[in-house]
Every structure is written in structure tokens, then in C-alpha cells.
Structure 1
Amino acid sequence: MNTNDLKIFEAVAFYGSFTKAAEAMFTVQSNVTARIKSLEDEFGADLFTRSSRKVTLTTAGETLMHYCKQIGHLVEEAKKEIKKANQISGQLKIGCIETTMALKVPDILNRFTDAYPDIELEFKSEMRHGLINDVINYKLDAAFVSGPINSPELEQIHIKEEQLVIFSSAQKTKLTEILAVQPLKIIVFDQGCIFRARLEAWLSAKGIINYKSMVVNSLEGIINFVEAGLGISILPAELISQHYAGRKLNTFVMSKELGTMTTLLVFRKNIPQSRALRAFIDLYKAELIS
């Protein structure tokens, strides 16, 4: 077995076809079949269920796929480490929710790139669940997400506590009057958004089940819709005070239980970290100590 055998195995799993995998790997189907047979003999188990239409991973195949991702990641990190052993360089892919992107990323870029100019930072904005999956599946090196998180595959660093607030247009001055409108309209991101979940939990706690959700796919869009009086929403108080202080908005304090959001930095556990990722993690650990 060699790493190319594992790449062929991953290609078959991805395409669900020996023929398509052969095309993607620039080889012939007979070679793909032979390499998969060799792997199955070596592991003593069938890796694929074969049918006339498609091949799919068996339980043993899914187990091997899990380790394939780790092996591929380790090989790439080894290449990077050996290539530039005397300097910290490379690329880091960091995930975060959209509010973190707006509020914290510029500061992160400034401080980190000043300290490590040879490391290229790439940020991805996504829903919390997607970010966690991407870290676990090696698509992201780390991610800023809301806690709590209970995953045996992830390490986590507590970054900060954020206070959430309900906000409305400036025309609305009393929360009781806003909530009395039927049906209440809320301006939110799509399902999976931590802020939407908190707002819906807050409404449920107040016994409000009759509301209409208006889904907007950008932070600026939510601010614009709320300012125009189309509904209420929820965001970190710091974000509104720092970036939208001049907008015609009113904010309302929430209870500590639902109004406090914990931000964590998560990354994979039990695998060697690249020097670039270690530098990124150490930067935040140093901040927490100071």
C-alpha cells in the first residue's frame, strides 16, 4: 500500500464509480480495480459494495476513509514543514460566523500578519454546524464558533463572552408594544444560525409562538430590514455599538441565560498541528493569559 492507493480509494468513494475514478486519476480502470483489490486483501475486508449502477463504501470502507483524511492531512503538513523548516509560513483556513467576520477578522488579520507575514490567512463565513464539520473533515484548520461544544474530535479555547441584544427600528421604543403585534415579524439568517436559535428560544420563553420569519442572507441586510421597521432581530451588542451606532435602531437587553454567547476557537485534536496553526493558537492563548 502507498499513498497513491489511498488517493485511488478516495476517488472511487467520491465518484461512486471505478470508471470515473480512473478518468480522474489519469489511469485505466483495470489499475483502479487492482489497487482496490490489493487494499481489500491487505485490510482483510470489502471496502465497497458493488452494484451495476454504483459502488458505495462499506462500514470498513468508511473507517478507512476516516483515516485516509488524517493521512492525507499529515503528508501535506510534512511537506510544508520540510520545505520551509526555518520559517513559519504556509496557509491557514479559518472559519467564523458572519458577525465574527465583521467584528473581529480585521483585527485578527492586522495582529497576526504583523507577527507572521509569511502565513496566508483565508477566512470562510458559514453557519456553526457547517464550520464544525469542516474542521472535523480537514476543510478548515480552525474555526470561531459559539459554545458549548461536546465533540471528542475537537480541542477548544475559550475566547470571550458576548452579550446579545434584541433590536428594532428607532420608531419602536417599547418592547411590550413590539411583542404585542400579531403576527410578530423577525428578521433572521437561515436555519442553523445561532442568533436565530437564540431569538426563537427567547420568544418561546415569553410564550410567543405566532411569529413570521423573514430570512435575509447578509448582516447588512438584517440591519437594513430592521431599521426600515420590517421586524426585530438579535445580534451582539458590541457589533451594533461599534459598527451601527449611527443607524436608527433601538436595543433591548436580554436575560443573562439567553443573552450570553460564548465564543470558542476549535481545532482538531490528537493530530500534529502545523507550525502556522500553532502560531495562531498561541496568539490567542497569550491574549488569555495577559
Structure 2
Amino acid sequence: MNMNDLSIFRTVVQTGSFSKAAEALNYTQSNISMKIQNLETMYQTIFFYRGHRGIRLTPKGEQFYEMVLKMLHLYEKSFEILQNPHEQRGLLRIGSMETTAALHLPGLLTSFHKAHEQVDITILTNPTQQNIERLENYELDGAFVTGPIYKENILAKEFVCEELVVVSSSKYRQIESLRDLEKSTLITFRNGCSYRAILEHWLHEDGVRPQNRMEFGTLDGIIGCVAAGLGVTLLPRAIAQKYMKTQSLSLHILTTKQAQVPTWFIYRNDEVQSPVLKDFLEAIDAYDYPSM
């Protein structure tokens, strides 16, 4: 077994088929199949159920996949740490919520990049739950999420605290309580978004059932539809105020709810931190919340 075999196994799992893995890696499908069979022979177990509808991991395969992710991550990380122990270079993969990326990351990354011009930074925007999963799967070095996060293998550093407000079109009726949303259309991010979960929890607490729902994958899509009067959403006050400069929006403060919600930066505690990640954590500590 070598790291290339493990990389092939990872690609098969992530693409969901031998043929797609072969295409992604520029191998023949028979070569991919042989590599997987060799791994199964060596471990004397079956990693994949094979059928007419494709492949899926067996319980042993799921266990092995978790170990493969960790082994490949440590292998790839070793080059960054051992070859350049003091140099500020390498790749930093950061996950973020759309709202945090739009409001806070430009300022944070500008100051960080000035001091780390040789660091390649990749920003991947996803809802909180997906960011947590990607961090646990070693696909991210860290992520900005809404907490709290209670996981043994994850550390969390508070970044900023946001005030959540209901956002509507400027022509929308006044909203003073959640009861006023009874006949409204809720416009939210897809499932896994913390702000969506908070709003749904509040509505459930108060026994409020909105008339309809619309789900979007981007912040611009949500803001555009809210400004057009199609419905309402729940967002950090700071991001809503930013969009009010170009969109016809109104903010509604819900005094009956605890609307102060912290944003956390999470990272793994079960591995050696790279010099780049250590510096990024220091940049987070030094970050100043922008004034609107």
C-alpha cells in the first residue's frame, strides 16, 4: 500500500463510482478497480457494496475512509510543516458562512495577505453544518461558523458577535413580533444554515407557521428577493445595513428574542498547527469589527 492507493480510494468515495474516479484521476477504470481490490485483499475485507445502482461503502469501508482521510491529511501536512518550518508559505483552506465572507473576510484577509504574500488562500462558503463536516473530514484548516460547537476534536475561538434582525422590503408592513410572520414567506439559506435554524426554532417556540418558504444558496439571491417584496429573512444586522445602501430594505428588531449570536472560528485540536494557521489565529485576535 502507498499513499497513491489511499488517494485513489478517497477519490472513489468522493465521486461515488469507479468510472468517475478514473475520469478525475486520468486512469483507466480497470486500473482503479484493481487498486481497490488490492486494498481489499490486503485488509481481507470488503470496502464497497457493488450493485446495479453503483457503489456504497460497507461499515468497514466507512471506518477505513475516516482513517484514510486522516492519513492523507497528515502526509500532505508533513511537507508543509517539515520542509518550511519557519517560512510563512503554503495553502490555507478556510470555510465560511456567506454572511461572514461578505462582511468580515475582506478586511481580515487584506491585512493577513499583506504579511503572508506567499500563502495561497482558498475560501469555501457553506452553511455552518457543512463547514463543520468538511473540517472533520480534513477538507478545511478552519472555518467560521455560528456556535456553540461541542466536539472533542474541535477548538473554537470567538470571532465576532452579531445581532440578528428580520429583514424585509422597505414597503413591507411593520414587524414587531414573530406573530407578524404568520402569513409571510420565509427566504433562507439551504438546510444546515445556523440563522435558518435559529429562526425556525423561534417560530416553533411561538407556535408560528409561515405561509411559504423559499430557499437559496447565495446571499445575493436572498437579498434580491427580499428587496423585491417576496418575503422576509433573518440576517446579522451589520450585513443587512451594508445592503441597505444599494437595496430597498427595512430592518425589524425582535426585542422578545435573544438575538445576539457569536460567530466562531473553529479548527482541529488533534494535529500540529502549521505556522500559517497560527498566524491566522493571531490575525483573528487582532481583527476590528467594521463600523457601519
Instruction: With the length of structure 1 as denominator, give the TM-score of the two structures.
Output: 0.81
SS at match of 1:175: coil
- CA positional deviation for 1:73: 1.1
2:188–2:216 Cα contact (<8 Å) kept:
yes
What do residues 130-184 of structure 1 show as CA deviations (whole Å, max 9, x unaligned)?
Answer: 1111111111111100001122221211112110011222223522599557632
- One-letter amino acid of the counterpart of residue 99, structure 1: T
- 1:1-290 correspondence to structure 2 within 5 Å: 1-7=1-7, 9-10=9-10, 28=31, 32=35, 35-36=38-39, 39-40=42-43, 45-48=44-47, 57-172=57-172, 174-175=174-175, 179-180=179-180, 183-245=183-245, 247-255=247-255, 257-285=257-285
- One-letter amino acid of the counterpart of residue 136, structure 1: E
- CA positional deviation for 1:119: 0.8
Q: Structure 2: how far apart are the matches of 1:195 and 1:61?
A: 34
SS at match of 2:117: coil
Q: Which runs of 5+ in 2 are unaligned?
A: none
- CA positional deviation for 1:276: 1.6
> Which structure has the larger Rg?
1
2:108–2:287 Cα contact (<8 Å) kept:
no
What do residues 37-59 of structure 1 show as CA deviations (whole Å, max 9, x unaligned)?
Answer: 5631xxxx525366676775444
1:21–1:32 Cα contact (<8 Å) kept:
no
Q: Structure 2: how far apart are the matches of 1:261 and 1:60?
A: 40
1:8–1:35 Cα contact (<8 Å) kept:
no
Q: Which runs of 5+ in 1 are unaligned?
A: none
Instruction: With the length of structure 2 as denominator, give the TM-score of the two structures.
Output: 0.81
2:127–2:193 Cα contact (<8 Å) kept:
yes
SS at match of 1:172: coil
Identify which range, 66-75 or 16-25, moves more after superposition. Answer: 16-25
Q: Structure 2: how far apart are the matches of 1:102 and 1:137?
A: 25
- CA positional deviation for 1:105: 1.4
Change in CA separation of 1:232 and 1:58 when aligned onto 2, cut-off 3 Å: closer
What do residues 21-68 of structure 1 show as CA deviations (whole Å, max 9, x unaligned)?
Answer: 78956685796377425631xxxx525366676775444443332222
- CA positional deviation for 1:126: 0.9
Identify which range, 145-154 or 237-246, moves more after superposition. Answer: 237-246
2:155–2:267 Cα contact (<8 Å) kept:
yes
Change in CA separation of 1:33 and 1:167 when aligned onto 2, cut-off 3 Å: closer
- One-letter amino acid of the counterpart of residue 46, structure 1: T
Identity %: 30
SS at match of 1:201: helix
Change in CA separation of 1:131 and 1:256 when aligned onto 2, cut-off 3 Å: farther
- CA positional deviation for 1:79: 1.8
What do residues 108-133 of structure 1 show as CA deviations (whole Å, max 9, x unaligned)?
Answer: 21111012111111111111111111
What do residues 160-210 of structure 1 show as CA deviations (whole Å, max 9, x unaligned)?
Answer: 211001122222352259955763222222222222222223333333214
Q: Structure 1: how far apart are the matches of 2:39 and 2:180?
A: 64
SS at match of 1:214: strand
SS at match of 1:93: strand
1:90–1:118 Cα contact (<8 Å) kept:
yes
Q: Structure 1: how far apart are the matches of 2:259 and 2:2?
A: 52
- One-letter amino acid of the counterpart of residue 78, structure 2: A
1:160–1:264 Cα contact (<8 Å) kept:
yes
